Structure 1
Amino acid sequence: MKDKKILKRVNYWVTIGIVLIICIGTFTWWNNSKKKTPHHKLKPQPALIDNTSTRPASYTTKEFKNLLSQNYPDIYKNLNFKQKPTFYVIPGLIQSAAIKYTPPGQGQPGIAYDMDPQGLAIIDHKYLIISAYSKSKTFDSVLWVLDFKTGRFIKTIALNNIDHVGGIAYDKDHKRLWVATINQYQRAQVQSVTLKEIEKYNFADCKIKLNT
């Protein structure tokens, strides 16, 4: 009889222990599942990459957030600052790698201090493309390529024109970035550059020619 009572007690406490382990395990899993995986912290980019600035030109992130909350409170409260990136830093506003359009140094790599951002397009949620032109018309227009997921600047692409290039759109079916330009007769036209050309482009190769 004593052996049976001892066995019952052992079974009782073993059962309680198993239930507690299951409860603790379930709670731990549930608690961890609620926590979002923190965004991988990327090392700060250099202030310049291939002569193109990557830092904000007007405000620090803190100043930008303050201005945004004051002037656009409805937008600010709907932004998730834990998500990266919540917004993108436009590169090249302080200076940008570019190709000289006018002499001296025509056709040679240089540094433009007057690039004006115009258009924006997203390529397969992989790249963010920003187009810009030289306000003084002394440099050819450019495309700035950013990583869509992290917002990090990748490279500058020099175009073979000085147009505003404000209208850009990605054609997913044909894998082409279409760019609104002007032809030699000052008439509006649309030209394109393939995704393959964008990914392979190296600024050292100078200008990329758009296809009509």
Structure 2
Amino acid sequence: MEKNKRQKLINCAVIGVIIAGIVALVLLTKSGKIERVAFGEETNTEASLGSLEDLKEGLAAYPELHKAVFEEAGVEPGENAFIIPGMETTLTLHHDHEEADICTTMTPQGLAVNADYLFLSAYCQTKEHNSVVYVLDKKSGSFIKEIVLDGIPHAGGLAYDNNHDLLWVTSEKGDTAQVITLALADIEAYDFMAASEPIRYADSIDLPDIKRASTITVHGNDLYAAYFNDNGASVMHRYAISTKENADGKEVRTLDTGKSTEEAYPDDVDKIGREIQGLAFHQEKLMLSRSAGREDDSTLLSFDRLQETENFTDKNASTEIALPAYLEQIAVDGKQLYILFESGAYPYRDHGNPSIDRVLRVEIDTLFSE
């Protein structure tokens, strides 16, 4: 009898350990600490969350955004919402093994637009896989390919340089902020399926004077870089983009401060608010996107750049618009603003208000109309 009791206790303990292990596994998976099981062998292109109607219903609580996305004259609602690929499965490299692998925890961060393409950067939450840039057709929103980056940078910012046909990407080298460039010709020629190697960088430039390059934009012939600071005000640095010869006599794109082609110091420093995820210029206005987790709405701030000098904190904002949580980068293309959220990523999709698995495109004047 005693033996049977002991055996039952042992069995209960084993079952308890198994259940606890399963619960821990589920929690770690849901939080993006470990990879999910992959049910695909390529980058997925379908929506990771609900339908367009579900999104429309979810955005009803944000009237300015809802109107700009779904009520633009002569435009079908789906034309202003582009599915973010790779939120279920992304084909990339395993960072340690350096072989093709599927990542299930990619998290979108950066956004840039040129005449033909929409570029979205993403990093692996588990840090097991190389970061990527998704390339979409700008007109249709259809997925073209993934660009696999070298290593696991956060890739929090993208900016397209029309003057030099370059895609600028934020990165880091050890504890030093960095930006790297990808030539458009290299992007168009790149085929990960054929090579299973990261894309070749055109140039890389260290930014020693900024804590980290969290987000960037190109305006005119200048690169602007800012860093996300959740403890107080932050800064936005401006660098002039130029063409020089490096020590080997090779022509490179650099940030012209007279120091070197491999590092740059800012020509100008402006003060910005806390928790800034993205920046973009429209004519003579500066727009900043803010987000810090799931508890509060995100905010899109607009500043009259002609009237403000070196201080783009909240007190000087001309307009503030509430947007759903997990707002990331923004990008301007003519009269249109593209808006990216990270809440379509698996670790965040249960916490958005609502969660959004699409890039949204709006007319700037409509969004900021009274």
Partner of 2:133: 143
Unaligned runs of 5+ in 1: 1-47
Q: How big is the shift at 1:158? A: 0.6
Q: For the residues of structure 1 that align with 2:109 and 2:82, how far apart are their CA atoms?
A: 15
Partner of 1:96: 90
Q: How big is the shift at 1:50? A: 6.8
Residues 144 and 157, structure 1, Cα contact 8 Å, conserved in 2? yes
Partner of 1:191: 180
TM-align CA RMSD:
1.8
* 1:50-65 alignment, distance < 5 Å: 51-65=42-56
Name which of 90, 100, 106 aligns with 1:109: 100
Unaligned runs of 5+ in 2: 1-38, 205-370
Q: For the residues of structure 1 that align with 2:144 and 2:41, how far apart are their CA atoms?
A: 10
Q: For the residues of structure 2 that align with 1:73 and 1:150, how far apart are their CA atoms?
A: 26
Residues 132 and 143, structure 1, Cα contact 8 Å, conserved in 2? yes
Give TM-score scaled by structure 2 length: 0.41
Does structure 1 residue 152 correspond to structure 2 residue 142?
Answer: yes
SS in 2 for 1:53: coil
Q: For the residues of structure 2 that align with 1:193 and 1:114, how far apart are their CA atoms?
A: 24
Name which of 163, 169, 183 aligns with 1:179: 169
Give TM-score scaled by structure 1 length: 0.71
* 1:48-87 alignment, distance < 5 Å: 51-69=42-60, 71-79=61-69, 80=72, 81-82=75-76, 85-87=79-81
Structure 1 consecutive aligned stretches of length 4 or more whose deviation exceeds 6 Å: none
SS in 1 for 2:76: coil
Partner of 1:162: 152
Q: How big is the shift at 1:57? A: 1.0
Structure 1 or 2, whichever has the larger Rg, is 1
Q: How big is the shift at 1:127? A: 0.2
- Which digits, 9 at most, give the CA deviation of each residue in 1:88-138, with x for residues without a partner? 111101111110002xxx1111100000100000022x1000000001110
Identical-residue share of aligned pairs (%) = 35
SS in 2 for 1:209: coil
Amino acid at match of 1:188: A
Residues 86 and 106, structure 2, Cα contact 8 Å, conserved in 1? yes
SS in 2 for 1:65: helix
- Which digits, 9 at most, give the CA deviation of each residue in 1:36-86, with x for residues without a partner? xxxxxxxxxxxx9970111111222121111112x2122222333526621
Q: For the residues of structure 2 that align with 1:97 and 1:129, how far apart are their CA atoms?
A: 16
* Distance of aligned partners of 1:85 and 1:77 in 2 relative to their CA distance in 1, 3 Å threshold: same
Q: How big is the shift at 1:157? A: 0.9
* 1:29-40 alignment, distance < 5 Å: none
Partner of 2:189: 200
SS in 2 for 1:196: helix
* Distance of aligned partners of 1:196 and 1:168 in 2 relative to their CA distance in 1, 3 Å threshold: same
Aligned length: 159
SS in 2 for 1:78: helix
Which has a greater percent of strand?
A: 2
Q: For the residues of structure 2 that align with 1:159 and 1:131, how far apart are their CA atoms?
A: 10
Q: How big is the shift at 1:203? A: 1.2
